[in-house]
């Protein structure tokens, strides 16, 4: 297929507004669902369309960036519900699961993993792969690097992480396995690629989810960039390290589409 209903570039993805990104020369039969960061309380398709476009270009495919509902007005699991809706809409548009991947940064990295967990629980087909940039998973704010890297990460502090986690969770416990994939059974998930900067407070979030996924039999790849802070990939096009990670993730995704 070559077009989506409502193209271009704004689309109504089953009632969820989204931006459709189609890089020049990209395949139109494959798509990345990109979940934006922002602690589930801020951010939008507009704020993250550039980064999603860099990943789409590196992969040679399309990307859809949904405007899922935000907390605190819409706490967990509204965001996951909206992303599940987008996947169902893509099925209706003719995109096969093996032609779909999920990706996201920070809270979007969490949501990308959690959405796949929810699809698994619902008995629905799973996408081909998951990419999580600097994933925000430790909603208990208990990780070692949250403390050890507090002085080197200018963006995410224990206080900021705890505040956003509270707004996102509402009345839900920080140990809920769908909200916090570090407590989830990851068996049966598609291949997972995670990256983080070794100077960021959430570095061990990426390490822990990769270790747990690997132990559950999931194919995993972990990239740690020296000296980089939280969501350093946001500097794609202006940073050698960001461009390197985007290129690596794009090549990794190419190899996993259509398996």
Q: pLDDT tens for residues 96-113?
A: 999 999 999 999 999 999
Query: Catalytic: 230?
Result: yes
Say which of 36, 134, 161, 200 is annotated catalytic: 200
Question: Would 22 be classed as within a structural domain?
Answer: yes
Mean pLDDT within 231-250: 97
This prediction has a pTM of: 0.96
| CATH number of the domain encompassing residue 140 | 3.40.50.1820
Rounded CA separation 67/80 (Å): 11
Query: Catalytic: 106?
Result: yes
Asked whether 193 and 223 are in contact (CB, 8 A), the reply is: yes
Say which of 45, 106, 114, 134 is annotated catalytic: 106
Question: Would 2 be classed as within a structural domain?
Answer: no
Does the pLDDT value for residue 175 go beyond 70? yes
Task: Specify the number of domains making up the chain.
Answer: 1
Question: Would 4 be classed as within a structural domain?
Answer: no
Average pLDDT along the chain? 95
Region label for 146, one of left (φ > 0), alpha (ψ between -120 and 50) or beta (otherwise): alpha
Domain that holds residue 52: 10-256
Calculate the alpha carbon distances from 55 to 130, 134, 164, 180, 255 in Å. Answer: 13, 15, 26, 25, 14
């Amino acid at each position: 297929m070559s077009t989506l209903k409502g193209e271009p570039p704004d689309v109504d993805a089953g009632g969820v507004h989204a931006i459709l990104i189609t890089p020049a020369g990209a395949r139109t039969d494959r798509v990345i669902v990109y979940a934006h960061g922002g602690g589930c309380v801020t951010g939008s398709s507009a704020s993250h369309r550039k980064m999603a476009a860099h990943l789409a270009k590196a992969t040679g495919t399309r990307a859809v960036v949904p405007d899922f509902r935000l907390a605190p007005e819409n706490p967990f699991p509204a965001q996951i519900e909206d992303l599940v809706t987008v996947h169902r809409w893509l099925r209706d548009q003719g995109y096969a699961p093996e032609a779909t991947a999920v990706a996201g940064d920070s809270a979007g990295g969490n949501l990308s993993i959690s959405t796949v967990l929810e699809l698994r629980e619902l008995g629905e087909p799973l996408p081909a792969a998951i990419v999580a940039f600097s994933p925000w998973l430790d909603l208990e704010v208990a990780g070692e690097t949250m403390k050890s890297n507090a002085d080197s990460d200018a963006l995410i502090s224990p206080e900021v992480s705890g505040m956003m986690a509270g707004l996102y969770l509402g009345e839900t416990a920080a140990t809920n396995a769908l909200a916090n994939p570090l407590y989830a059974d990851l068996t049966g998930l598609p291949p997972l690629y995670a990256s983080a900067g070794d100077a960021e407070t959430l570095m061990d979030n990426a390490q822990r989810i990769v270790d747990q996924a690997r132990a559950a039999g999931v194919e995993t790849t972990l990239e740690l960039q020296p000296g980089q802070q939280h969501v350093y990939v946001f500097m794609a096009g202006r940073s050698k390290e960001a461009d390197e990670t985007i290129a690596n993730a794009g090549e990794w995704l190419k190899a996993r589409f259509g398996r």
